[in-house]
Copies of this chain bind each other. A is one copy, B any other.
């Protein structure tokens, strides 16, 4: 969209860090170093690369059970909050987004950990809110079966409500620090929240002063019906898997519309589809790399992953045959939106199991684009300009090289086109995403009856 708007719209880029890379065979490729996936310095280097590229944030997914079969993939296993706390020290500007489940944690603990990360990073913390999708996770927390999809989201809503109240339980100006008078905090501005809900009773206040961002950024990634309603109400950034421009446009429009129905502005919510960019100096080179990775796939692993995504045991089925009959979407109690996406992909393109496993190897349902830096930039620009994205969740197929190439080759093109920042102008994750710092509910104090939006 050429022209000279007063403030050009910039896209937002997140680096989704994943062990040896997002392709499920990345750890077997000679360009990766799977022996380093439990080595902090490896992740420090990745985060610094993303920061060198001026990206908005790095992000860590998470699950509370072994993720897939350790036999055939390099699972690292760093816990996101500890790892990002360490990465905070190795970086200065980039945002740090950790996944934490509302199904297997407590609001007080979660509110505290993110407030702590926000303080220690100088306002760079973000929380990717997940409800956890697998029975393997439930079994690590005393349950035989997984909590039903709708109930998980019910719990998630109250969980986030409580967490936000805890973050707001200290006013921004609660700390007085009057040494002579012996008053550290004005305790009229440090208030219990006295939450008594259906699932949680939490007295508060939090035992951490309000953090630099007020609220660490709320991020969400589920795109089911429940997930979209949740995102529309709470999320400030949304990661989503979309295979085609038209699907992404429909999702974008749907979610922004829902946000409006929750009384929010469309611009309060950033939507970032995932993309796995397979880069080459020519398109042929990129396609050859993609083929190399496909050739390294362990079909047994892919079949197990696919069985999980489809809620259907595919073991023993012929790889060159079609998919069996699948359950209905509403019978899926795991990641429901991913089920729908994969089922549709297989149906639309008439894929065999082997072809589907190959197609999913790079991004587990996220879009994979193989091409030159120019071609990747074109794709990003098209989606950004055509109402499909506010930015992208960058999922390099292999690491560290896949991120290096994105930063060194694609980012400069986006900058030259005026689509991406050429320096950090903000200090906090909220500032990078262009989102305001929330005023604390307790500030101004209720009795002050300040005009709406009166907080400076």
Known A-B contacts A142-B202, A184-B27, A187-B69; A116 and B208 likewise in contact (beta carbons under 8 Å): no
Segment with Cβ contacts to B, from A102-110, A270-278, A438-446: A102-110
Contact B40 A120 (CB under 8 A): yes
Give the chain B neighbours of A208 by CB distance below 8 A. 38, 77-79
Least Cβ–Cβ distance between A277 and chain B, in angstroms: 23
Confirm or deny: A200 has a beta carbon within 8 angstroms of a beta carbon on chain B. yes
Contact A83 B120 (CB under 8 A): yes
Number of copies: 2
Report A's interface with B, CB cutoff 8 A.
Answer: 27-28, 34-35, 38, 40, 44, 63-67, 69-75, 77-79, 81-83, 85-86, 88-90, 104-106, 108-109, 112-113, 115-117, 119-121, 136, 139-143, 174, 177, 179-180, 182-187, 190, 200-209, 296, 298, 301
Contact A113 B81 (CB under 8 A): yes
Q: Which of A75, A117, A120, A301 neighbours the largest number of chain B CB atoms within 10 Å of its CB?
A: A120
Contact B177 A34 (CB under 8 A): yes
Contact A187 B89 (CB under 8 A): no
Contact A65 B105 (CB under 8 A): no
22 contacts between A and B (CB under 8 A): A27-B179, A28-B179, A28-B180, A38-B119, A64-B207, A67-B207, A70-B187, A72-B183, A72-B184, A77-B207, A79-B115, A79-B116, A79-B208, A81-B82, A83-B120, A86-B86, A86-B88, A104-B106, A104-B109, A140-B202, A141-B202, A182-B298
Residue of chain B at shortest CB distance from A75: B207
CA distance A67 to B64 in the complex (A): 30
Give the chain B neighbours of A67 by CB distance below 8 A. 207
Give the chain B neighbours of A177 by CB distance below 8 A. 34-35, 74
Least Cβ–Cβ distance between A316 and chain B, in angstroms: 19
Contact A140 B204 (CB under 8 A): yes
Residue of chain B at shortest CB distance from A38: B119
